[in-house]
Structure 1
Amino acid sequence: MNAVHTPEIAAAALASSGLSPEQRAVALADPSAALTAWVRIDGPLDVVALRRAVEQAVAEHDLLRTAFGAVDGYRGLRQWSLPATPVLDWQGADLRDADMADSTANSTADGADEREGGLHGRGEGVSALHAWLGALATPLAIDEGRVVRAGLARLGEARHVLAVHASALVVDAGSLIALLARVAGIATADATDTEHFQYAQYVDWRAELASDDGAQAGNAYWQRHFAGAAVDAVAANTTGAVGVVRALNVADWQAPRLAKPLAPRAGRVQARAALPADLVRRLTDANANGDGDGDASAAGPERLLHAVWLLLLARLNGFEPFVAGWRHDCRADYDLMRGGMGLFEKILPMAMTPRPEARFSDWLAHCAAIATNHVDAQEYWPVDAPPTTAHREAVFGWREAVPPAAGWSAPEVELPERDVALSLDVHWGPRPELVLSADGTRHSRAALERLLCQFTTLLRAALDHPHAAMHMLDPVGEAERTALLAWRGERRDVGTLTISQHVAEWAALSPQAPAVEAQGETLDYRSLNQRANRLARAMSSLGVTPGALVALNLPRSADLIVAILATWRAGAAYLPLEPHWPEVRRKALLADARPALVLHAASLGGTNAVDVALHCRAAVLAGEGLSPADEPALDLCTLDADMPPSVAGLGDLAYVLYTSGSTGQPKGVAIEHGQLLHYVVGSSAAMDLAASRRWALTSSVVADLGNTALFGALFNGACLVIAEDADTRDADAFARFVDGRGIDAIKIVPSHLEALLDARSPRLPRTVVLGGEAAPRALIERIWRLAPGTVIHNHYGPTETTVGVLVHRVRPSDAQGADALPLTQVLPNTRVHVLDEAMRLVPAGAQGQVHVGGPQLCRGYLGREVPGVFVDDPFRPGERLYRTGDVAQVLAEGGLRLIGRADHQLKLRGFRVDPAEVEGALLTLSGVRQAVVLGMPGVGGIELTACVAMAEDGAGADVGLGGLREALKSLLPSHMVPARVMRVDDLPRLPNGKLDRAAIATLMASALTSSSTTTATSTPSVVVPAALGALDGLSGTSGPTASVQAASAGAPRDALETVLSQGMGLLLGRGPIGIDEDFFELGGHSLLVIRLVARLRKLLGIEIEPGLVFDHPTVAELAAALRAGPWDTSGFERLAATDWQTSETAGPQTATSKTATSETTASETATPSP
């Protein structure tokens, strides 16, 4: 900015001075920032006299005729006073023709009243007034000293609005309020002449403070505050709740975790509410008398309301340490500065370490002590270079109302708080008001309104029970409680027929309609029904009785679907097994479940020794043939095709799914037919499943992810199209499958879909249901970028609640909000509550554990009781709730957003994994003395990482870390085998003897970070810094050593190996890997193989299969296999010499979405901005 325009200005610039710290903060953030304030004036008005009053009030302050600009020889912005005040920019407007009826109502929908200047209502007049204010707020010429603009809008014959717009370099909110009060005094002849404090005095004073004797002590105070010393200074109460906390650094402090809006919007949003009159009386009476209810209100209104606000933030933040802001005006601390014009307000940090057991009265004293100490050290807080900005996320402000002149309303101020996410301002006066304003991209209006209700509810509770523990003071009022309890599924009659009986009905209604397509075979509903009936009769002849279990060791196939229906029609329940699981795993499940029959697939080699060892009756199923072990084969075609008599009912067991267990052993979740029916009916209604006629089954049935497609298709008379393994492990094959088979709906894990979209010509069904893990926003953006018409549903539910209980149809606005998609709709007949540890409803914005009730809750666990999982419903005596362990944040707009777990359980690629089970398997291996398994961030999401300490006697020393992974593959399914195994001398522990998982996570993160930067010519081993030894629970002066074992690495020898080394490394989230390093030993898995193959196809222009990577997992082996393949290799060196990154963007940018989008509205099909 060049400020030297005239000789007069140039001369003034020579006498320029620096800025105050508050001004420097504005200059660094946005020197063009400005504030606008306005008042409404009722009654006769001399417009000319009013304008003169404004000019006089402006002329009384040198700062309001100050120019700003660059001056040679100085860095940054400088300021200088002009010899004379520039002519005031005055803008008048006649808005009498606009309809101002809504703007003058005594009570608007926003809770505004007449004292608010008439700007918070609705109507054309209000819009016209806002438009005029917007025109008034155009940029100011601060380099010319034109830092103030004023105007008058005429609303009626005796009603006006006076507005002042001024640079944020010369005024804060308090200054504008004081300026308008001075104008009113001059205009009404109530003002008295007085000498005014000039801001230049303040600038000089602040400069002296920076180097005075108190500077060092002031700076040390703020360091102590962030280190927790302020907490130490407060005496502990009788509960010991306030005490010494571990020293923290500034960077450790985070703002409260408040809920993000469902539909973000640009600009600021606001909510207002009058403080209830009875609370005002209690506050003012106690303040006037110097006493109060249990020493609470006696602290004074400002301190009490501030403490309640901080308590509310603490409650919403789960009582975790946080930092908030306090907007304080130092003019209230110095009589000399009262009425001064300039920047005096500053946002001071309040680093809080709440203890839920602390009494509120102690919390109040604690907050008041911090505020008092802050006032003493406020000038030493570096407002222009704060060490953190987290304190600006949630701010509290207090403003004493200036008694307005007759006919004048109280001033309203619009602040340019672009970096203040949320601000509660208390306007204290005859009718105190609470004003919440927020960044619309961070908070919704609904959230602000709910927050105001929570604040007043909590304030009342604190006044009523000042000595209660803080966690006992509930911010959930009656209205919010009613709304939270009302968030449940609609009532829906599901009928009395099981899914199996519905299939039989479709066989009668549409016998020739396709029901199942698999491996080139199509079964219509009549054929499916008849085959299921015949197999059911055969099962009964083999000893399967009602209530028994039948284990299905079958791959995805038509036989599997027939077997499921047949099991039900024999009156039994099915137990799915994954044929590719280790034999030890299948044996453990069969030993626990004791099924009456095990069905095997002929394609997998028939029965095996596991069945014999466990005395399980076994048979091999191959289409219409059934071959029991050691008995003659049965031709199912010869059996009766009518429905057998022993069909299961709604109260009978339908299936058992084994999930990972926290005890180290898997546990079988038992689901009844009625529970399954409720899910299928409810999900069909919530997601309009019947509209899709060709559902793809792409996942294993050992987890219930695929049950949405499987039973959603059969219940609605649609066709279930079963994908072959190759269709789900190859991006191009998946695209051909979707396109060639006419798929219009799919249920899939987000990370799997992300990998499959790397095809050269990606294809997507019209409907995509995402489940099994969190769906990232980037995936939603990618889907809609490829196929804008795709209908996306986010689906959630633990196995114990029968597949899922919550759903959300994704909207374009969701892709612009928080990273995690919300869940807004509860399936019919189901109840979902988010509760705290005391089984109370958590308020909107807070976090708690998801609890589910209703007819979808499973029967329980097969053959065992698990305490604490199913609990009594506090809102419906005699009914159960399932405690999911999932932590969620309640959204003010309705719904919730999942944010984590209350335990260590993980969701990996759609499978539930409890690390304790993996740890137990590790401890069975030779030489493993200690083991911890954690989920660590990886390229495709969370990855299992194990940390082991080996036996001190050297046992198992001959088994490398890679050998441990190989050993685990014989014990656990592939999704439970850690991607990485690290070794330490000893696992760190807490003082109570428990493993210090936080310290172990730090070790892992350090090791993974080091290995990710390892070059291809070195072995990736990591020595953890000795500083880690200072973590809580670690003894000694040096930390344990962690290493990632790898094979001898080697540098690439040519361009092809170079691009493979680079590409594999990028997929693994690290640098290029050595040519002899095993891709899978370094953390590779099937989804990364899909992406690797897709990108190699784009880059090299050849048709390679995923199996080539599985068979040749090193760079050297894969490069050799590529050269030996049946394709032209002459261009390899030229293509491979290009940057691997070019494959990231190669290929088409759009995808075909099957079955066009005629039913989807424009707002739903809009492509979000990337």
Structure 2
Amino acid sequence: AAPSSGQRRLWFFDQLQPGSAAYNIACGVRLRGPLDRPALERALTRITERHEVLRSVLRADGVGGVQAVVLPVTPVVVRTVQAPGEAGEELVRRAGQIAAEPFDLATGPLLRCTLLHGAGDARLLVLAMHHAVSDGWSLQVLIRELVELYGAQAEGREPRLPALPVQYADYALWQARWLTSPAAAAQLEYWRKRLDGAVLADLATDRPRPARSDFSGAHARFEVGAAAGARIGALADRLRTTPFTVAMAAFAAVLARFTGQDDLVVGTPVAGRGRAETAALAGFFVNTLPVRVDLSGDPSLEELVVRMHDEVLDGRSNADVPFDHLVEELRPQRDAGGRTPLVRYLFQSDESVQEPVVVGGLEMLPVRLDTGTAKFDLAVDLSPRADGGFDGLVEYSTELFDPAAVERIATALRLVLEEAGPAQAAAALSRLPVMTSADRAELLERWSGAGVPAVPTDTATVHGHIEAQADRTPLATAVQFGEERLNYAELDERANRLAWELRARGVGRGALVGVALPRGLDLMVALLAVLKSGGAYLPLDAGYPAARIEMMLEDAGARVLVTDTDAVPAELTAAAGAAGAQVLCLRRDAEAVAARPRHRPQAGTGARDLAYVIFTSGSTGRPKGAMNEHAAVVNRLLWMHRTFGLAEGEGVLQKTPIGFDVSVWELFWPLMAGGRCVLARPGGHQDPEYLCELIASAAVTTVHFVPSMLAAFTTAGRLPAVRDALRRIVCSGEELPAALVTECAALLPDTGVFNLYGPTEAAVDVTWYPCAEGYGSRVPIGRPIDGAHVYLVDRAGRPVPVGVAGELLLGGPAVGRGYWRRPGLTAQRFVPDPFGEPGSRLYRTGDLCRWRADGTLQYLGRIDHQVKLRGMRIEPGEIEEALRTHPGVDSAVVSVRTGGSGTPVLVAHVRPAGGPDSPAGSPDSPAADGLAAVLRAHLRELLPAHMVPTAFATVAEWPLGPNGKL
């Protein structure tokens, strides 16, 4: 006979993954009292006689398809398994293992009965079936008929069983005919419209999705008390719906809070038995309903329940189309690994209360069995209890989630269900609690770093610490540049004289001084002199266009520009004049500077005075100046010294252009700790071979790289020369690939790699992570440094649970003052701190992160990198990650460009594996066209159609900015 749509799908699945227990269905029956084993086997045999499907097998039909074959009736033999040392939950676990034993769909039988004997008189009857011949409803049919047939024998009467006018094969034939009818076409059109543009809900997982799933699973349990159950029932009555609808709405609310999505598809099973004659029949009838949930506008739980009620009602009116047929017709996004498409998360409720039944002196109590599998990412089952409460079970994929992550989701669902009272149900969903007060306190008080004070110090300023070090080690080398050296005393004296000159030109506390000098000893002297004068330095790259420098100087109101006409373009000094800044030329004005006093000026600078202002690009096109104070910088540098313990004389490489904040610690940390600041030649930061030579010759122990530059550094031919000297590689500025860390560990086994994170609006870095074992596929950005407070919040500003993406907010002494002369933008990005002391502020980074279970932060991307095409939100990073999974791709960048018709399109720029030497390394080569076709097909396997770029372009090398970033 022809199989049903569902049977056909499960047969194809079995061909791909033979022996999988993913579609085993099982129930245990706890037995107490005398058992008549022959009567039990006769009852089971009679059941298989009544329900032909339980004697069916699925076999290849010889032409690429499958057919269902009904085998003759044979006596059912209940096998016996002894487990003498097990009882209670241990025995139930053993029963689950037995139920998970694979079936052979071609030979059968697809119903297996086992009597499990445990310790003492503990016994469990294990009834296992393949889903191809059964479903959850069928299990209830089986149990009812088993009780009746066994009881009738014990009582010496005829069994009272409903007639079965049709068999499952009749249903399969009816279904095949119905699918060609106008009614089926109308239902399919309903789903086509309803699911148009739907995207998969996306809970953060603890591990990447495997290329091939083994469907391994586990479950977590939770309880909803009787009082909460009564409130759920009352809410359902008031809204004229069911407790199931209320609970499913609560589950959708939790998913929305954990994913940040307000448009979700949640699956729920429907019996699929619309015809009355199928009610008492065993077989695979159940259908999955993909319910699209609209959570836009932050509705209340009440409002969401009403939306859910209408959605489920409409869906059930169109529930005859098999889910498998729906997938074939709509071709939705498919998960890697073969999991169910369209629906990742399922909600179901067993409306019946399980109670023991006594027949012939034998008590039978059905119990749930765990086969160790999970067909969905996450499936919630809520079962009512006799006291009015509910037992909750969350089945989840162990390939994706750790138990702790699922426990947090289960806790959130319990909390939302317990908030179903009238007042709470009327509140916006964003206000419902999704974590316990203890978990919230741990995030806000411990993990945030709020309880860790700034590093204590008696010296308030950066230059004050350097002056103290100069007093301790005046003759030690402070700065070296090629063959040139300055010891601490010389550096201090030269900076003092220049500081006096600056003060003579009107520089004092809070004044900004532009510094436009190439890397060299004069640069170090000038920066330190600005701080000693009471001013704050404004770093300027001489390579910038003159118009931009003029704009920055004018915007900053800089009194003085320190430069050198022999080393910078004439346009720069002209720009300074146009901006109204005095030009102090170190060579031209050398005599005037040399005539100034050698002792230190006392400018009265304090901890809250500005140390520097760095201009960064702005979304409006106008650069914005981030202000940072001495206290924040001192805390950052003292933390670094306390953490890494730089010894006197150690070399720290300074190679980052001073317009980028990493330069701050490269310049000043070694001078505060008695080390050496080793200056790379101008432009040398982009030459890996030169850097290797410098690190080795200057005995540099600490160096910074953005990850993309570190990748280039690891390929340098002279890399072995750095092994004796280099002890620390500090990374920041881009996401650090785990593979790169592994590569560094292999090439430089004695060199530690540290991942740091921080925006320019705070003092350089605010979190750190020592890269060691155990971080998984993505390197965290770690924990807050001393004096930094970190919080992750949702769109409503509420703390998010562990594992949930949220915007990273920064607080504490590490946070900068704001943006120079931009009060509106400062107020927008530097906001009141609801978690701290009155008057404290938080900086909104715009970065998405999540807490890992170990208390470290993982960077996920930028909020504002999200794009919207044809009404659908897209994160380019997700496409880039998918591209990098192809062996032909070294790296990728996805962006939005305007197409020929004026509409925005996605464009993928790809660097092929092998770089410029690969066949596809040239954009014009035929191999490049071939790679584009391959990658397009690859992405179609991983992503929905709207996320597959329209155009592909190959690049031989990535263009890098002056700081080494893309």
Normalising by structure 2, we get a TM-score of: 0.79
Structure 2 gap segments, 5+ residues each: 335-340, 868-875, 884-889, 932-951
**Gap change, CA 1:606 and 1:471, over 3 Å in 2:** closer
Which residue of the partner structure matches residue 403 of structure 2? 445
The alignment status of 1:66 with 2:56, answered yes or no, reads yes
Quote the Cα distance in structure 2 between the aligned partners of 1:943 and 1:512.
53
**What secondary structure, in the 3-state scheme, does the structure 2 residue paired with 1:772 have?**
coil
1:355 aligned residue (271, 296, 301): 296
The DSSP-based 3-state class of the residue aligned with 1:706 is: helix
Which of 308, 314, 331 matches 1:373?
Answer: 314
- Per-residue deviation, 1:702: 0.6
**Do structure 1's residue 586 and structure 2's residue 575 form an aligned pair?**
no
Q: 1:78 corresponds to which residue?
A: 67
Q: Distance in 1 between matches of 2:409 and 2:515?
A: 52
When residues 644 and 469 of structure 1 are mapped into structure 2, their CA distance, relative to the original with a 3 A threshold, is closer
Using the alignment, how far apart are the partners of 2:920 and 2:740 within structure 1?
24
Answer yes or no: is the 8 Å Cα contact 1:1065–1:1072 preserved in 2: no
Q: Secondary structure at the match of 1:274?
A: strand
Q: Do the aligned partners of residues 50 and 142 (structure 1) sit closer, same or farther apart at CA in structure 2, a change above 3 Å counting?
A: farther
In the TM superposition, residue 161 of structure 1 has moved relative to its aligned partner by 3.9
Tell me if structure 2 keeps the 8 A contact 1:687–1:793.
Answer: no
CA contact (8 A) 2:477 2:649 kept: no
1:481 to 440, 451, 455: 440
- What does 1:895-934 align with in structure 2 at a 5 Å threshold? 896-903=857-864
Task: Work out which of the residue numbers 660, 673, 677 in structure 2 matches 1:720.
Answer: 677
Distance 2:490 2:559 in 1: 26
- Residue aligned with 1:433, SS: strand
Aligned pair in 2 of structure 1 residues 20, 264: CA closer, same or farther (>3 Å)?
Answer: closer
Q: Which amino acid aligns with 2:190?
A: R
CA distance in 2 between partners of 1:690 and 1:338 (Å): 80
1:391 counterpart (342, 346, 356): 342
* Residue in 1 that maps onto 2:766: 805
Matches within 5 A, 1:258-273: 258-261=203-206, 267-273=216-222
Q: Distance in 2 between matches of 1:482 and 1:434?
A: 26
Deviation at 1:308, TM superposition (A): 1.9
- Write out per-residue CA displacement over residues 590-633 of structure 1, whole angstroms, 9 at most, x where no aligned residue: 12223333222466158732333444333344xxxx542xx735
Q: Give the partner amino acid of 1:93.
A: Q
Q: Which residue among 1, 18, 42 is the counterpart of 2:2? A: 18
The aligned residue for residue 1029 of structure 1 is none
- TM superposition shift of 1:656: 0.8
- 1:27 paired to 2:27: no
Map 1:633-782 to 2 at 5 A.
Answer: 634-635=593-594, 640=598, 643-646=600-603, 648-682=605-639, 693-725=650-682, 727-760=684-717, 766-777=727-738, 779-780=740-741, 782=743
Are residue 279 (structure 1) and residue 228 (structure 2) matched? Answer: yes
The answer for the alignment partner of 1:978 in structure 2 is none
Change (3 A) 1:1084 1:803: farther
1:1063 match: 921
Residue in 2 aligned with 1:234?
none
Give yes or no for the alignment of 1:41 onto 2:48.
no
The 1:709–1:204 alpha-carbon spacing in structure 2 relative to 1, beyond 3 Å, is farther
Per the alignment, residue 969 of structure 1 pairs with none
Q: Secondary structure at the match of 2:406?
A: helix
2:241 matches 1:299: yes
Q: Does 2:394 align with 1:436? A: yes
Match of 1:976 in 2: none
Q: Distance in 2 between matches of 1:323 and 1:596?
A: 60
SS of the residue corresponding to residue 648 of structure 1 reads coil
Q: 1:361 to 1:285 in 2, by over 3 A?
A: closer
CA distance in 1 between counterparts of 2:960 and 2:925 reads: 11
Partner of 1:611: 576
Distance 1:893 1:181 in 2: 48
Instruction: Find the partner of 1:562 among 525, 530, 534.
Output: 525
Residue among 833, 843, 852 paired with 1:882: 843
Displacement of 1:378 = 2.0
Cα pair distance change 1:721/1:28, threshold 3 Å: farther
Alignment of 1:929-948 (within 5 A): 942=893
- Which residue of the partner structure matches residue 356 of structure 2? 404
Give, as a single letter, the amino acid of the residue that structure 1 aligns with 2:835: F
One-letter amino acid matched to 2:355: P
Equivalent AA in structure 2 for residue 869 of structure 1: R
How far off is 1:802 after superposition? 2.0
State the shift of 1:578 in Å.
0.9
Shift of 1:553: 0.8
Q: What do residues 929-969 of structure 1 show as CA deviations (whole Å, max 9, x unaligned)?
A: xxxxx99979865588776xxxxxxxxxxxxxxxxxxxxxx
> 1:450 and 1:665, CA in 2 relative to 1: closer, same or farther beyond 3 A?
same
Partner residue in 2 for 1:827: 785
The counterpart of 1:841, out of the listed 799, 816, 836, is: 799
Shift of 1:181: 6.1
How far apart are the structure 1 equivalents of 2:747 and 2:695?
Answer: 14
Partner in structure 2 of residue 172 of structure 1: 135
Report the Cα distance in structure 2 between the residues aligned to 1:558 and 1:340, rounded to whole angstroms: 89
Q: Aligned partner of 2:356: which letter?
A: P
Where do 5+ consecutive residues of structure 1 fail to align? 1-16, 105-117, 120-125, 229-247, 907-933, 948-981, 988-998, 1014-1057, 1074-1081, 1092-1105, 1107-1170
- What does 1:980-1059 correspond to in 2, within 5 Å? 999=903, 1001-1002=904-905, 1005=906, 1008=907
d(CA) in 2 for partners of 1:663, 1:263: 36
Question: 1:620 & 1:144 partners in 2: Cα distance?
Answer: 92
Does residue 420 of the first structure (1) align with residue 381 of the second (2)? Answer: no
Distance in 2 of aligned mates of 1:453 and 1:559: 60
* Length, aligned pairs only: 877
CA distance change for structure 1 residues 473 and 90 in 2, over 3 Å: closer, same or farther? same
Corresponding residue to 2:412 among 454, 458, 463 = 454
CA RMSD, aligned part only?
4.3
Q: Tell me the CA shift for residue 478 of structure 1.
A: 3.4
1:314 maps onto 2:256 in alignment = yes
Tell me the residue number matched to 1:1139: none
- The one-letter amino acid paired with 2:367 is P
- Give the whole-Å Cα distance in 2 for the aligned partners of 1:86 and 1:65: 11
Q: Structure 2: how far apart are the matches of 1:604 and 1:506?
A: 31
Against the structure 1 CA distance between its residues 946 and 479, is the aligned structure 2 distance closer, same or farther, given a 3 Å change threshold?
A: same
Residue in structure 1 matching 2:832, options 872, 877, 894: 872
Q: 2:102 is matched with which residue?
A: 139
In structure 2, what residue type is equivalent to 1:208? Answer: W
In 1: Cα distance, 2:926 partner to 2:651 partner: 35
- Assess if the C-alpha contact under 8 Å between 2:28 and 2:367 holds in 1: yes
- Are the equivalent residues in 2 in contact too, given 1:595–1:616 (CA < 8 A)? yes
Mapped to 1, the partners of 2:755 and 2:164 lie a distance apart of 60
Name whichever of 439-448 and 500-509 sits farther off. 500-509
CA 1:223–1:783 in structure 2 vs 1: closer, same or farther (change >3 Å)?
A: farther
Is contact 1:886-1:898 (8 Å) kept? yes
Shift in Å at residue 671 of structure 1?
Answer: 0.9
Contact 1:653/1:672 (8 A) holds in 2:
yes
Secondary structure of the structure 1 residue equivalent to 2:184: helix
Compared with structure 1, are the counterparts of its residues 435 and 945 closer, same or farther at alpha carbon in structure 2 (3 Å cutoff)? closer
TM-score, normalised to structure 1, is 0.67
How many Å apart are 1:356 and its aligned residue? 1.8
Q: Is the 8 A contact 2:116 2:125 kept in 1?
A: yes
Distance 1:518 1:436 in 2: 63
For the 8 Å contact 2:97–2:372, the answer to whether it is kept is no
Aligned partner (choices 958, 962, 965) of residue 1088 of structure 1: 958
- SS of equivalent residue, structure 1 residue 604: coil
Shift of 1:894: 4.5
Post-superposition shift, 1:451? 1.5
Q: 1:85 to 1:446 in 2, by over 3 A?
A: same
Whole-Å Cα distance in 1 between the matches of residues 324 and 270 of structure 2?
A: 12
CA distance in 1, matches of 2:32, 2:507: 92
